[in-house]
Structure 1
């Protein structure tokens, strides 16, 4: 019963270090894959002669299928399947990277991405859940480390693609390297598989749940006010995170009137300062409550964002953009940690509900795009203020 002692008490230093290395390494690799994929699309499209319609299918169909599958897999993880699903996900993730590297056309790429998308959720999200269950008293600090590792991988991904392109090697070696590195991460996860199992049930707990009972339990979890609150806050926080980042380059070109090169610089400023902010949040959360920090940063963002939108000189606009990237650092980590805390020892249910909420939150970019089509991108960007407004309303009254 060594694992029982590990989960119910403070993890031993060696165990905590192993989980730390595994979790941060896997999240770094996942975001490295994301950074490589985003930067490599022009090269892939040209090399495989893909139409814009085919690119749209490749980006949407695998993601949609993954969103349908992931909630069920997450609930199965709560039923004692976490270790097996995590390792199986790592195997499929590695295979998906290798298949992308050797894909010869649209259909091969579609098969590879359909394998890779849901397996990424199994491997990465379940590793996050295992880490959060292992050290429940340090969820906020560990989620901040998780976000930092992801930010670093996301920044380095495009640099890897650019280096290979500069050497004339193309995009395939990048995915071959990712397959090898992901295989190494899988081997490490296999070596510590005894740390990845579900927390042991209390002796008084009833017999093993069925999947149907787990689905009913997830529905009952939504009756918990804290669960609903943090699911909502995570989706509205994303307005100033991924959604804002997705529109920044277009905003600088179409509204601020910059060149494409200057817009690329703006994206680099946002991601670079965001990486710095994620690094600063890690020691900060050792001294300050996440709720206190978020209230301050959200209030400050409500003051800075209008200045960013109204001021015209490019240099000042870039400085304010960097400030926005700094202020939003740690948002996802803190809110996700609080969501885990609202359902202790039900991390799979947390992931399942997060996937469902993500499907609903996925409507936001479409609505912003439709608004921009009719009323202009500048008007649509102002709607992003709904994110910090809802956050401030939800955070008021929360305990530190």
Structure 2
């Protein structure tokens, strides 16, 4: 692990980390409004499912593909006020979404909202790394759980505040964007102070960005981590997108009951996110990655063959285990390339979102062709790809 004992951040900056978590929560809440509003958009503008898919593709392009690009840009030219700049894009996009009157206007709106996400994830993850005071796992877990909370609150707020009154009420979410910008102000001041400190001590910056592995080994390790992200998010997509349909089809539960069982799974993902990072601080990232993904396989492979009660229990175990992996994977990658924090954060967030989006579409087609149970019989084997974690070098020893 790269040592940073001479870092200007000697202690974990909890106020900054809490502000980052709240910012992440509000950002992901605004992002989730798009998919939650699809039924309203489809009805208001008489959209086809193909057009809904096109809107999703445009959003994924800006929210996922652009993340490594924005991360690389801010790696080369760090800007203390990058977070409010990104949130301003989200604010403009949300207001535009509320009043769009045709497909092209909608696509421009979601594209602008996606740009806000492309700025926040790599930049906020970078600042989280810097503000950790060495406790990077704990810091990253705090940041990640904010996003989990925001993603689950968005659809609920759309159902309560928008659906009964009309799509124009989406514009009220601009208030949350303004609150997010206000929350980001102390983060920006802290980051500006950090950057000024490094400018005064250029040798300190060089020490903090020393890479632990050779270029060849670093590229290999990043490739292994991307395979692990691939396995994790394909299986997670099967649960977040189709778990309720699976429960209704196989066990005959009501829609309300299926939502409760989905909530149990989401609680597990939040708990796993909070625990994975701190455990990685103590025992090493590789161990957490290995256990989190490969350790999910027994639960995922058993789940299609048990009754309702054990399905709910196993889904909790799956959510807890798998969600603990991402903070460890991201931190491992950041420690491989401490001089490219934005690029790495953007690459892994963008790849995760992209895989989740593509997997949802592919699994939907599979469910149409072969049945919803086939999705879980096939996806149950994805965590076995966790075996590739064996090839990761142990950075904790270094």
TM score, norm. by length of structure 2:
0.80
**Cα distance in 2 for residues equivalent to 1:264 and 1:361:** 20
Distance in 2 of aligned mates of 1:18 and 1:63:
31
Aligned CA distance change for structure 1 residues 363 and 122 (closer, same or farther; 3 Å): same
| Cα distance in 2 between the residues matched to 1:167 and 1:385 | 38
- Secondary structure class of the residue paired with 1:266: helix
Q: Match for residue 302 of structure 2?
A: 307
How far apart, CA to CA, are the structure 2 residues paired with 1:356 and 1:31? 14
Please report how far the alpha carbon of residue 195 of structure 1 lies from its aligned counterpart in structure 2 after TM superposition. Answer: 4.6
Q: Which moved more, 1:126-135 or 1:372-381?
A: 372-381
In structure 1, what is the Cα distance between the partners aligned to 2:149 and 2:116?
Answer: 22
Select the residue among 71, 74, 78 that pairs with 2:68. 71
Contact 2:276–2:325 (8 Å) recurs in 1: no
Is the 2:294–2:386 contact (alpha carbons within 8 Å) kept by the matching residues of 1? Answer: no
Gaps of 5+ in 2: 207-214
Following the alignment from structure 1 to structure 2, what is the Cα–Cα distance between the partners of residues 261 and 341? 43
* Structure 1 residue 333, shift from structure 2 partner: 0.9
**2:137 maps to what in 1?**
140
CA distance in 1, matches of 2:95, 2:350: 29
Within 5 Å, give how 1:226-237 maps onto structure 2: 226-237=221-232
Q: Give the Cα–Cα distance (whole angstroms) in 2 for the partners of residues 263 and 143 of structure 1.
A: 31
Is contact 2:87-2:116 (8 Å) kept? yes
Question: 1:380 and 1:138 mapped to 2: Cα distance?
Answer: 38
From 369, 379, 391, the equivalent of 1:384 is 379
Question: Unaligned 5+ residue runs, structure 1?
Answer: 1-5, 207-219
Superposition deviation, residue 117 in structure 1: 0.5
- CA distance change for structure 1 residues 281 and 79 in 2, over 3 Å: closer, same or farther? closer
Report which stretch shifted further, 348-357 or 76-85. 348-357
CA distance in 2, matches of 1:355, 1:294: 16
CA distance in 2, matches of 1:387, 1:398: 22
C-alpha distance in 2 between matches for 1:192 and 1:315: 48
User: Residues 252, 190 of structure 1: CA spacing in aligned structure 2 closer, same or farther, 3 A cutoff?
Assistant: same
Deviation at residue 342 of structure 1 after TM alignment: 1.1
Q: 2:236 aligns with which of 230, 237, 241?
A: 241
Counterpart among 324, 332, 353 of residue 330 in structure 1: 324
Query: How far 1:289 moved relative to its partner?
Result: 3.8
- CA 1:395 to 1:174, structure 2 compared with 1: closer, same or farther past 3 Å? farther
1:108 equivalent among 98, 105, 108 = 105
CA distance in 2, matches of 1:188, 1:128: 16
| Equivalent in 20, 26, 29 of residue 32 of structure 1 | 29
Q: How far apart, CA to CA, are the structure 2 residues paired with 1:385 and 1:350?
A: 28
- CA RMSD for the aligned pairs? 3.5
Instruction: Report what 1:123 is aligned to.
Output: 120
1:278 aligns with 2:273: yes
Give the 3 Å change call, closer, same or farther, for CA 8–118 of structure 1 in structure 2. farther
Q: Name the counterpart of 2:170.
A: 172
- Counterpart CA distance in 2 for 1:7 and 1:108 is 51
Q: Does structure 1 conserve the Cα–Cα contact (< 8 Å) formed by 2:128 and 2:143?
A: no
| Structure 2 Cα separation of the partners of residues 242 and 292 of structure 1 | 24
Matched, 1:94 2:88: no
Tell me the alpha carbon deviations over residues 135-188 of structure 1, each in whole angstroms, 9 at most, x when there is no partner: 473222211111211122223223322332587576425423333323323444
**Pairing partner for 2:264 from 263, 269, 293:** 269
Task: Report the Cα distance in structure 1 between the residues aligned to 2:162 and 2:86, rounded to whole angstroms.
Answer: 30
1:247-269 alpha-carbon deviations (Å, 9 max, x no partner): 31232234444443333233222
Q: Hey, what's the Cα distance between the residues in 1 that align with 2:49 and 2:392? A: 48
Give the superposition deviation at 1:281: 4.4
In the alignment, is the contact (CA less than 8 A) between 2:58 and 2:110 conserved in 1?
Answer: no
Going from structure 1 to structure 2, the CA distance change for 1:188 and 1:99 (only over 3 Å counts) comes to farther
Secondary structure of the residue that 1:224 maps to in structure 2? helix
Note the 1:12-51 alignment, pairs <5 A. 13=11, 16-51=13-48
Counterpart CA distance in 2 for 1:252 and 1:82 is: 47
The answer to whether structure 1 residue 291 and structure 2 residue 286 are counterparts is yes
CA distance in 1, matches of 2:274, 2:155: 20
In 1, Cα distance between the equivalents of 2:371 and 2:101? 40
Q: Distance in 2 between matches of 1:204 and 1:275?
A: 36
